[in-house]
Chain A
Amino acid sequence: MNKLQVLADYFIKYPFVRYAFIVGLLIALCASLLGVTLVLKRFSFIGDGLSHVAFGAMAVAAITGLTNRMAIILPVTMLAAVLLLRTGQNTKIKGDAAIAMISVGALAIGYMLMNLFPSSSNISGDVCSTLFGSVSILTLKSSDVALCVVMAIIVLLTFLLFYHKIFAVTFDESFAQATGIRANTYNLLIAVITAMIIVLAMNLVGSLLISALIIFPALSAMRLFRSFRSVIICSAVISVICAASGIILSILFSTPVGATIVAADMAAFFLFSLIARCKGTHA
């Protein structure tokens, strides 16, 4: 009871707690929707790769001292997303190798730049918060929240409008192309939205933990549900519930926000796996 009161106090007293909550839930929702497609297309690692690219871009943005860091991070990450999805088709370096290459490369260069041109005295603190998103979600300004809401609306609308096409392109690209759906355009769209979500999610869980937001809800939903629509809906619900409980728990027990959300997602995954095993037929 006591804890609940503390929580209620936080919500009433501090606007940043409310901001963190809104942003957290929106990001979790968007990530889980796209996660289903990415997992099914065997692009689970793309989130990881792109988040490292975003880390590198953030380092560059930090040393150039730009006030609007998004102006660098977003386009760079989108470009990387497009390049990565391109390589999936026909190049000399295969998809997974390309992702690994770009992601560690960006990580190394980002860390190097941060050390060469330190923007504050506490480099390891900066790096740590970028990688694990430890504090940034609780330092959001109302303009950040507005940006996040707008981007979330764009992602959700795109997803709703192109839901059937995204299904077709995910399930069977060659058939989709043959019936006149521009599969490459939709792949591009998926790549760009993925990049947007990753840049947004960096605030929430940090760049190392983003893949968890993308893959865990989708994998949990796939344990139990057997149609594309039910998997998508279930994944969205799991993700929002886990994000909410993660944020609340992190406030109550003063644990790192990102890590707590990911732990909640993992717990949900094990729960769903257990239920699936008990039901037997749905393995």
Chain B
Amino acid sequence: MSVQITCKNAALGYENRIVAEKLNFTVSAGDYLCILGENGSGKSTLIKALLGLKPQISGEILCDHQGIGYLPQQTVIQRDFPASVREIVRSGCLGKTGLRPFYTKEEKTLADKMMQQLGIKELEKRCYRDLSGGQQQRVLLARALCAAKNMLLLDEPVTGLDPRAQQELYEQIAALNRAGTTVIMVSHDVTAAVRYASHILQIGKKKQLFFGTTADYRNSKIGQTFLEAGGADLE
């Protein structure tokens, strides 16, 4: 199994304020890593570091930033944005176009393939703002897949979805993972994390609380505390 991300003793933060430090974890191809942590624990800073948008203060983070397909949180602007599904999914290919002002045939085919894979091909001419929350997330997921070289980074993807749409999206992500895509998901949802993820990284105020496989997490003290708090059903 090839290692895709190595994070060694990394400290993250702004100027001279450290948000999280002593981060140590690795992600191998095919892993499903769930990053848990409360608000202000440095999750979004970690995302920026993984995407290569904000370099770490110290330590090492080794990964191919450009190869990560990113699913950001929805913004207010997007809710009433006049854009067709096809336009949005294709924009996932923009990282490859450089200064070329149009999409090539291969890029369009790639976008078509991703829409097919996520079952939104028949929506391609519909307007993004007319779609349901679950459909919108699938559109953004297809866009992320267009940008990805087999690694996805999802930032709280189920926020704002109703329980059924949440479930469907989790299943879809799990299916992508089974098909070989590495998934990194930032989440609040401990229950879903232990259900779907293969590895858990939990960060607390300023430091790393846990990193390991999901099985180890269930048996760890911190994992049990959190799962109880999250009201999880440990089969």
- Interface of A with B (CB < 8 Å)? 40-42, 160-165, 167-168, 170-172, 174-181, 222, 225-229, 231
A179 to B153, CA, bound (A): 12
Q: How far is the CB of B27 from the nearest CB of chain A, in Å?
A: 17
A177-B94 in contact (CB<8A): no
Question: Which residue in B70, B77, B83, B102 is a CB contact (below 8 Å) of A167?
Answer: B83
Q: Which residues of B are found within 8 Å of A165, using beta-carbon distances?
A: 94
A179-B70 in contact (CB<8A): yes
Q: How far is the CB of B142 from the nearest CB of chain A, in Å?
A: 12
B101-A178 in contact (CB<8A): no
Write 15 A-B pairs (CB below 8 A) sorted by A numbering.
A160-B101, A161-B99, A161-B101, A164-B91, A164-B102, A168-B91, A172-B72, A174-B72, A174-B75, A178-B51, A178-B153, A179-B70, A225-B82, A226-B84, A227-B84
Question: Which residue in A42, A225, A228 is a CB contact (below 8 Å) of B77?
Answer: A42
- Interface of B with A (CB < 8 Å)? 51, 53, 66, 68, 70-72, 75, 77-78, 81-84, 87-88, 90-92, 94-95, 97, 99, 101-103, 125-127, 130, 140, 143-144, 147, 153
Q: Report the nearest B residue to A228, measured CB to CB.
A: B83
Q: Which residues of A are found within 8 Å of B71, using beta-carbon distances?
A: 175
Q: Which residues of A are found within 8 Å of B127, using beta-carbon distances?
A: 226-227
B130-A226 in contact (CB<8A): yes
By Cβ-Cβ distance, the 5 closest A-B pairs, closest first, are A226-B127, A179-B95, A227-B84, A178-B70, A174-B72
Q: Which residues of A are found within 8 Å of B102, using beta-carbon distances?
A: 164
Q: How far is the CB of B194 from the nearest CB of chain A, in Å?
A: 27
Q: Which residues of B are found within 8 Å of A160, using beta-carbon distances?
A: 101
Q: Which residues of A are found within 8 Å of B53, using beta-carbon distances?
A: 177-178
A226-B82 in contact (CB<8A): yes
Q: Which residues of B are found within 8 Å of A179, using beta-carbon distances?
A: 66, 70, 92, 94-95, 147
B70-A164 in contact (CB<8A): no
A228 and B82 contact, Cβ closer than 8 Å, known pairs A175-B143, A179-B95, A181-B95? yes
Q: Which residues of B are found within 8 Å of A42, using beta-carbon distances?
A: 77
A172-B75 in contact (CB<8A): yes
A171-B88 in contact (CB<8A): yes
A41 and B77 contact, Cβ closer than 8 Å, known pairs A175-B143, A178-B51? yes
A179 to B93, CA, bound (A): 8
B88-A178 in contact (CB<8A): no
Q: Which residues of A are found within 8 Å of B95, using beta-carbon distances?
A: 179-181
Q: Which residues of A are found within 8 Å of B94, using beta-carbon distances?
A: 164-165, 168, 176, 179, 181
A121 to B35, CA, bound (A): 70
Q: Report the nearest B residue to A229, measured CB to CB.
A: B87
A174-B70 in contact (CB<8A): yes
A222-B72 in contact (CB<8A): no
A175 and B101 contact, Cβ closer than 8 Å, known pairs A167-B83, A226-B82, A228-B87? no
A172-B78 in contact (CB<8A): yes
